[in-house]
Amino acid sequence: MQHTLLVDCPDNKGLIYKIAKQLLEFDVNIEQNDEFVDTDNAHFFMRTVMSGLEKPFELQEILQRQLPDANIRLFKKQPKKIVLMCTKEPHCMGDLLVRNEFNEMNVEVVAVISNHEILRSLVERFNIPFHFISHKEKDRASHEAEVHEILSEYEPEYIVLAKYMRILTPSFVARYKHRIINIHHSFLPAFIGANPYRQAYERGVKIIGATAHYVTDNLDEGPIIAQDVRVVGHRFSAKEMSKAGKDVEKIVLANALKLVFDERVFIHGNKTIIF
Which residues are part of the catalytic machinery?
220
CA 101 and chain centroid, separation: 19
CA dihedral 58, 60, 63, 64 (to 10 degrees): -110
Q: What is the DSSP letter of 241?
A: H
User: What span, in angstroms and rounded, lies between the C-alpha atoms of 176 and 82?
Assistant: 12
Contacts of 85 (CB under 8 A, 6+ apart): 112, 113, 114, 147, 159, 160, 161, 162, 164
CA nearest neighbour of 39 among 237, 221, 206, 273: 273
Pair type for strands 80-86 and 71-76: unpaired
Put residue 263 in one of left, alpha, beta given phi > 0 → left and psi -120 to 50 → alpha. left
Q: What is the DSSP letter of 167?
A: P
**What is the Cα Rg of the chain in Å?**
21
Q: What is the DSSP letter of 169?
A: P
